[in-house]
Structure 1
Amino acid sequence: MKKKLWLSLIMMFVLSLFLVACGGGDNEDAQGDAGDDAESTDEGTDASDGDAPDFISFLTGGTSGTYYPLGGAIAKIISDETGIQTDALSSNASADNIIALQDGEAELAFSQTDVAAYAVEGINAFDAPVENVLALGSLYPETIQIVTTEKSGIKSVEDLKGKKVSVGAPGSGTYINAEQILEVHGMTMDDIDAQNLDFGESAGGIKDGNIDAAFITAGTPTGAVEELQATADVYVLPIEQDKADELIEKYPYYAADTIAEGTYGLEEDINTVAVLAMIVVTDELSEDVVYDITKAIYENSGDIAHDKGQYVTLESALEGIGFDLHPGAKKYFEEAGLDVQ
């Protein structure tokens, strides 16, 4: 009896060992599978966390200016050439665009070269240097247009004294342009009744008689001014040569410019000044992504479905840029043979 009991105990012990061994083997297999899955997941994450995002936002400007339609055309090229869905969004333009990039609200943006330089230095509209925004490249001249009508009787910058004048949307580079141009003419914002309107509002205000003139910094012809021309005889104030020279000497990012006869129905060329439009980019985008975006823009500029596309050239891509290029843009321009400082 005792012998049978002993044998039963031994058999139960052996059976338990067998079950533990089988369970242990299953557990090891499960752990092995989990380990393989974890390894696969890590590898998948590495692949999905590659440099290229699925979507990027491109901040432009007001819908009545040049930035918005041009931005849409450039966004399409970026999307087509890189596979990254790029959405062009309307905005208050230069200064606000850079602040939005600083705050991580977008990846690409238009800016005037002068405003971007202010951002990096932390002056004018910027309380402190913006450290996460870099240059991608310059695009085309942005002409300073001081727009009024023939019937206003305003023929010079000095005639703006005491008038209701739009100086651009809050946060825009146009405001700073207006301030600096008034400065070289011995005036300040206190000498005018300054109105903070965007381009469309400015044109509408002139049309309705609510304002007398407007500073508009944009590529010519500008849509808002063309709309005004449909209902009024447009006149653009000239900036005389000595004042232009003084402005350029003090603020070197300006250049002399001319609005050609016939633009907006003008009967003669109008001498003025310009800054440059450029694209700025957050440093969060990788070198490879910005390289691809830069290449897409400058190698397909002939396909930009906007009149300003003709000015987007590799030869002028570095003009007016006074701060650091993104490493991806720098790499592309160096490979293209440009002298990148």
Structure 2
Amino acid sequence: MRKLTLATIFASTLFATSSWAEDVTLKMATIAPSLGQAITMSTFANIVTENVDGISIEVAAGGAATVHMLEVANGNLDMSMGSPTIHFLLTNKKAMYKDVEDNEALAANVSQLMAFPWGAYHFAVRADSDIEYLDDIEGATVFLGPQGGGAYNAAKGWIAATTGLVAGEDYDAIKANWKTGFQAFLDGKIDMYVNGCIDPCQQFIQFTETEKVRFIGPEDHTGEAVDKFLGKFRHRAEVPAGLYENQINDGPVMSNDTGVSIAVRTDMDEDLVYQMTKAFWENVGNITSDAPWAKVLTPEYGAKAEGTIKLHPGAERYYKEVGAL
């Protein structure tokens, strides 16, 4: 059994073949290591490394999924976080990919191994805050996520769609990375902290060890603006009561969620991807006592390929075998 390592990504690409008599090292990139999505991906890497002979996955944590997925498309990485939204943007040469040449060919070289929930966005304030709804954050100082990132835009968009409040005009959205944004909340320097994650989330476990937290939602989560914001790839999701010992909510709070994925090179060997997919789903149940968030991961969800991204043939073979497709 090999031990998972966190390493800097090398510039060269790996071309896996249908036989790996020699050890094969795959390169995975993910977002900030403290975030639940990075933990999910690192857990995948660890399970595969421990359970598939001849395969080792190196994980480099940090940076943006939009950049990582393009590196997968170019063959400089083997795996990264993907999402229906960013694959759609690459396919259609939009937003951060508007100047990318050969965008359609690049998008075609990114496939999905498994989908998993990003996790409901948690809009958190201290228990003694006078902010009871998102509609009350006018004039407040908040952390939505690193500016320019997908999480920031999703949190900002949900607030705007449900309350009409605009970041930078009606409230102050601080510029910070994930680590400093959370530290600002711990230190009481901001009024609201936002994190999308599968419960139980590490950050809220830590916060509620010493303080009480209230998760808040909008007064009204319906309407044309909300439907437009949700679009095809987002959906309403509740943050339940009773998740954390010092959570004071007495009922569920409405928020939103979306699916993300482990993206792989389309030209990666089919049997290699099949073996990794199989190893993960056959062994993930062994860790749920130590990682209770993993209980929400299912092959049925993993097989969901939304928008323009397609399942890798190796992953598709596994999902058909187990009846998830």
The TM-score bracket by the shorter chain reads 0.7 to 0.9
Query: Partner of 2:119: helix, strand, or coil?
Result: strand
Write out per-residue CA displacement over residues 259-307 of structure 1, whole angstroms, 9 at most, x where no aligned residue.
2212232232222221123211122422221122222222322134522
| Structure 1 residue 110, shift from structure 2 partner | 2.7
1:327 aligns with 313
Structure 1 331/123 Cα, relative in aligned 2: closer, same or farther at 3 Å? Answer: same
Write out per-residue CA displacement over residues 300-337 of structure 1, whole angstroms, 9 at most, x where no aligned residue.
22134522321221222233622222222223223333
Q: Match of 2:193, as an amino acid?
A: A
Structure 1 64/125 Cα, relative in aligned 2: closer, same or farther at 3 Å? Answer: same
Query: Partner of 2:301: helix, strand, or coil?
Result: coil
2:10 aligns with none
The answer to whether 1:85 aligns with 2:83 is no
Distance 2:273 2:138 in 1: 46
With the length of structure 1 as denominator, give the TM-score of the two structures.
Answer: 0.75
Structure 1 120/180 Cα, relative in aligned 2: closer, same or farther at 3 Å? Answer: farther
Distance 2:199 2:302 in 1: 19
The answer to whether 1:336 aligns with 2:313 is no
The answer to whether 1:186 aligns with 2:138 is no
The answer to whether 1:54 aligns with 2:27 is no
The answer to whether 1:263 aligns with 2:243 is yes
1:139 aligns with 116
2:79 aligns with 108
Return 322-331 or 241-250, whichever deviates more: 241-250
Residues 1-341 of structure 1 aligned to structure 2 (within 5 Å): 50=18, 52=20, 54-83=24-53, 84-127=55-98, 128=100, 129=103, 130-131=106-107, 132-140=109-117, 142-170=119-147, 172-184=149-161, 185-191=163-169, 192-240=171-219, 242-243=221-222, 247-248=226-227, 250=229, 251-264=231-244, 265-266=246-247, 267-268=249-250, 269-304=252-287, 306-319=291-304, 321-322=306-307, 323-339=309-325
| Structure 1 residue 223, shift from structure 2 partner | 0.9
| Structure 1 residue 181, shift from structure 2 partner | 0.7
Write out per-residue CA displacement over residues 170-227 of structure 1, whole angstroms, 9 at most, x where no aligned residue.
5532122123213313233332322243433222111223322222122122112222
Distance 1:87 1:165 in 2: 34
Structure 1 298/133 Cα, relative in aligned 2: closer, same or farther at 3 Å? Answer: same
Distance 1:329 1:196 in 2: 39
Return 103-112 or 66-75, whichever deviates more: 103-112
| Structure 1 residue 93, shift from structure 2 partner | 4.9
CA contact under 8 A between 1:156 and 1:237: conserved in structure 2?
yes
CA contact under 8 A between 1:62 and 1:91: conserved in structure 2?
yes
Distance 1:108 1:209 in 2: 37
CA contact under 8 A between 2:27 and 2:78: conserved in structure 1?
yes
Distance 1:118 1:220 in 2: 29
CA contact under 8 A between 2:26 and 2:56: conserved in structure 1?
yes
CA contact under 8 A between 1:174 and 1:215: conserved in structure 2?
no
CA contact under 8 A between 1:72 and 1:88: conserved in structure 2?
yes
| Structure 1 residue 254, shift from structure 2 partner | 1.8
CA contact under 8 A between 2:24 and 2:56: conserved in structure 1?
yes
Distance 2:93 2:221 in 1: 30
Structure 1 155/315 Cα, relative in aligned 2: closer, same or farther at 3 Å? Answer: same
Distance 1:151 1:115 in 2: 38
Distance 2:63 2:314 in 1: 27
Query: Partner of 2:168: helix, strand, or coil?
Result: helix
Distance 1:329 1:70 in 2: 17
Q: Match of 1:321, as an amino acid?
A: E
Q: Which has the higher helix share?
A: 1
Structure 1 99/243 Cα, relative in aligned 2: closer, same or farther at 3 Å? Answer: farther
With the length of structure 2 as denominator, give the TM-score of the two structures.
Answer: 0.78
Unaligned runs of 5+ in 2: 1-15
Q: Percentage identity across aligned positions?
A: 20
CA contact under 8 A between 1:57 and 1:106: conserved in structure 2?
yes
Distance 1:244 1:66 in 2: 30
Write out per-residue CA displacement over residues 30-79 of structure 1, whole angstroms, 9 at most, x where no aligned residue.
xxxxxxxxxxxxxxxxxx96554711122232222212333332112111
Query: Partner of 1:247: helix, strand, or coil?
Result: helix
Unaligned runs of 5+ in 1: 1-47
Between structure 1 and structure 2, the one with the greater Rg is 1
CA contact under 8 A between 2:118 and 2:196: conserved in structure 1?
no
Structure 1 94/142 Cα, relative in aligned 2: closer, same or farther at 3 Å? Answer: farther
Q: What is the total number of aligned residue pairs between the two structures?
A: 292
